[in-house]
Amino acid sequence: MQKRGSWCGRTLAVAPLATFLLCTTSSFASPARPFVEFQVAPLAGAPLATAGQTPAARLRENRSLPAGGWVETGPEDRALVWLLGEPGCQLILEPEGRVEVKGEPASGAYVAILERGTLRSTRADCKATLEVGTPVARLRSQGAYFTLKATGGWISVFHQAGNLQLLFQGQAIPLRALTLTTVSSSGSHRIASVAEEEREAAPTVSSRRAGPEQEPPAESISPVSASGRP
């Protein structure tokens, strides 16, 4: 009888340890996926932004930009749109532009729709797939430096470096670095090479508005080309 009680005591003592090891193993086997969402911050002026269901308001500090949200810049405004949880995935909306963000589609890409204006990527170390749509065509970027301008039924794409594709009329067209591609809604297009010496030094922009609970924009944001270049 005494041996039997001792065996039962040892069994009960081991049970909590086994449960702890099982939970610990399960947590390491299935790591939580990092939370990813679009964020927006003003770089100059006071861009207009909305989360989709709320009235549009002037942007004074960093805020989340869920699916359906948009940001619009006036003549003196610039805005930074980036993916929280995906380092390096940053886009700058230049003056007189409008961008709407979408949810993550089944393809695994994060989508921003440039309705008008100029949008620039800022870093080439983005690991996520970004798709930028326009009324004419779409760009698919995987760590690419590019400038996209959309206006009046045509777009121009200045591709500096990285992996960039043009999705147009059912085709995925890889774009070469140091090229300027122009595409119209009618289907006409032109690709021109850009000489190495023609590249201009990019200005440096600093953002210091990040809240303590948000991933801050990069201290040094370098657009791929000087302001005013297509």
pLDDT number for residue 4: 53
pLDDT number for residue 18: 45
- pTM (2 decimals)? 0.71
pLDDT digits (tens, 9 = 90+) for 61-102: 999 999 899 999 999 999 999 999 888 899 999 999 999 998
- pLDDT score of 40 more than 50: yes
pLDDT number for residue 227: 33
- Higher-confidence residue of 216 and 188: namely 188
CA dist., res. 160 & res. 168, Å (int): 20
Q: Are 178 and 142 in contact (CB under 8 A)?
A: no
Mean pLDDT (the chain, rounded): 77
Judged by average pLDDT, the poorest of 111-115, 137-141, 222-226 is 222-226
Judged by average pLDDT, the poorest of 106-115, 126-135, 139-148, 153-162 is 106-115
- pLDDT score of 7 more than 60: no
